[in-house]
Amino acid sequence: MERTDRIFPDKYIDLHLHLDGAVTSDIAKRLADMQGIALPADGEALEKLLSVGDDCKDLNEFLDCFELPLKLLQTTEALNECAYLVAEKMREQGVIYAEIRFAPQLHCEKGLTQRNAVDAVIRGLSRSTIKTGLILCCMRGEGIEEKNLETAELAEEYLGKGVNALDLAGAEGLFPTENFAELFAKIRKSGVPFTIHAGEADGAESVRKALEFGASRIGHGVRIKEDPELVSLIAKRGIPLEMCPNSNRLTRAVEDMKDYPFMDYLACGIKVTINTDDPAIESTDIAEEFRYMESRFGLTAEQQRQVLLNSADAAFADDDVKKWLKEQIAPGVNEK
Ligand code: HPA
Ligand code: ZN
């Protein structure tokens, strides 16, 4: 993705990015090289394996693209290097703060423990020169309750020591949010803040459940418009939505992008944010997401500033970091 020089924004915040969804072909080659793994394809064929086209059917097809990145991310060296490379790529694209997420349980196929995986990613991120936060994902699925609990316990132990929050990712249409009541009751007790992917492949009820569980942010939340009372509640409570325009387009979170509700949510005072989700799979980057919102929906420079201030506010970070971010986005804003 080419970066065109823009006057504003020239600094970005990305709060929703999956490590395994950020493995571009150059990163895949580096990871394969360092492990002596032969990639199944090269050139355009490799790009195709790592990304979806405009003909992507739904979130389930989208999630199939994670197969190759996950194969390449089963050692501490690979996880460490990937975290570093992804963060550095973001720096080159103008990102000043990124919350990167991954599901440690998906990286234990070759003998790593979840703890090994978390340690490796923390070390990789600490080598990068941008500020980062780490979110650990529990996964939607059946028969993985123990693994999700282990992830939650690790987050509690590492909170403030490399980990910022928890998440629930995976196939929302197949494994509804209500199935995870027990997990989130435990997480809520532990005091670790969390976001939940909801209102993406499932409807408003999924978001209501996430809020009932105690989520302080919502991943996507595109479909809350199905329930106008929920829209008002989210605006009133100041719950940030981590929206990811090109991901939402490709997974068909809305059937037709002309009905994408971002501008309506912004207008009714919801703290919407713009993020990439899985930049390699969507062939995008954060600047491209802002450009897309500007050209397709007329998002103005002032609105883009507001969205970035929303991100600063929504970050799973301490007040000093938030204040610094706001100053970067809107100099003088902290004095007002
Ligand atoms: N939704 C759920 N799980 C995911 C996604 C998503 O958009 N991206 C990566 N894992
Ligand atoms: Zn996501």
Q: How far apart are CA 73 and CA 80, in angstroms?
A: 9
Please work out whether the CB of residue 277 comes within 6 Å of at least one atom of ligand 1. Answer: yes
Q: Is the pTM of this model over 0.85?
A: yes
Q: Which two tokens stand for residue 323?
A: 């204040």
Determine how β-strand 217-220 pairs with β-strand 195-198.
parallel
Q: How far apart are CA 90 and CA 92, in angstroms?
A: 5
In this prediction, residue 61 carries a pLDDT of 87
Q: Which helix (H) or strand (E) holds 49?
A: helix 43-50
Query: Rounded to the nearest whole angstrom, what is the distance from the C-alpha of residue 333 to the centroid of ligand 1?
Result: 34
Mean pLDDT of 103-126: 98
In this prediction, residue 5 carries a pLDDT of 53
Residue of the nearest CA to atom 9 in ligand 1? 18
Would you place residue 2 in the very low, low, confident or very high pLDDT band (cuts 50, 70, 90)? Answer: very low
Choose the residue to mutate in 276, 277, 284, 289 for probing ligand 1, maximizing ligand atoms within 8 Å of C-beta.
277
Please work out whether the CB of residue 326 comes within 6 Å of at least one atom of ligand 1. Answer: no
User: Looking at ligand 1, which atom is closest to the CA of residue 18?
Assistant: 9
Query: Rounded to the nearest whole angstrom, what is the distance from the C-alpha of residue 335 to the centroid of ligand 2?
Result: 34
Mean pLDDT of 104-128: 98
> Do the beta carbons of residue 113 and residue 151 sit within 8 Å?
no
Question: Which domains does the chain carry?
Answer: 12-329 (3.20.20.140)
Query: Rounded to the nearest whole angstrom, what is the distance from the C-alpha of residue 170 to the centroid of ligand 1?
Result: 5
Q: How far apart are CA 314 and CA 29, in angstroms?
A: 34
Query: SS3 of 28, please?
Result: helix
Q: What is the 3-state secondary structure (H, E, C) of 111-144?
A: CCCHHHHHHHHHHHHHCCCCEEEEEEEEECCCCC
Residues around the ion ligand 2 (C-beta < 5 A): 277
Q: Which two tokens stand for residue 300?
A: 């103005």
Pick the catalytic residue from 81, 150, 200, 288. 200
Mean pLDDT of 121-134: 98
> Does the annotation count 200 as an active-site position?
yes
| Average pLDDT along the chain | 96
